[in-house]
């Protein structure tokens, strides 16, 4: 399971696109599409998940004041996922962070936060546009 897949799982979202190494999940999804279904049926968007409500609820219940809307570290902590520099570098590499940002943790973190939110939105999460820009 890829690092980003852990994030999706914690949010109650699963995606074969996010975890291409898991061919079992892809096969299971493909098996759900009837053989008589049109080809477009297999590329329907993932159902929308209220990520904002879920994260806000978790943040309200968390004793720490985590600013998940601007901090990748806080977002990972809120989801109870390893937020160490090594873990963030692993996630950044998985998501294709530009090499010039990998050596500067602050720049990498800013890129990573935006990229994670974009990927969550691309997988059916309702992330507001102001958090994606």
Predicted confidence (pLDDT) per residue in 31-73, tens digit: 344 444 444 444 444 456 789 999 999 999 999 999 999 999 9
Domain range for 89 is 3-132
- What's the number of domains the chain is made of? 1
The whole-angstrom separation of Cα 92 and Cα 32 is 32
- What is the spatial distance between Cα 34 and Cα 50, in angstroms, rounded to a whole number? 28
Which pLDDT tens digit goes with each residue over 2-39? 899 999 999 988 744 433 333 333 333 333 444 444 44
Which phi-psi region, left, alpha or beta, contains residue 12 (left: φ > 0; alpha: ψ -120 to 50)? left
For position 87, what pLDDT does the model report? 97
Q: Is 18 exposed, middle or buried (0-12, 13-18, 19+ CB in 10 A)?
A: buried
């Amino acid at each position: 399971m890829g690092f980003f897949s852990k994030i999706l799982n914690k949010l109650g979202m699963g995606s074969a696109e996010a975890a291409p190494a898991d061919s079992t999940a892809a096969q299971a999804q493909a098996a759900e599409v009837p053989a008589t279904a049109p080809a477009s049926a297999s590329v329907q968007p993932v159902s929308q998940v209220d990520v904002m409500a879920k994260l806000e609820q978790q943040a309200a219940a968390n004793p720490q004041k985590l600013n998940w809307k601007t901090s990748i570290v806080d977002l990972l902590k809120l989801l109870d996922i390893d937020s160490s520099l090594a873990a963030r570098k692993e996630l950044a590499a998985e998501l294709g962070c530009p090499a010039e940002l990998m050596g500067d943790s602050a720049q990498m973190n800013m890129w990573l936060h935006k990229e994670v939110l974009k990927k969550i939105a691309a997988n059916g999460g309702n992330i507001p546009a102001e958090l994606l820009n």
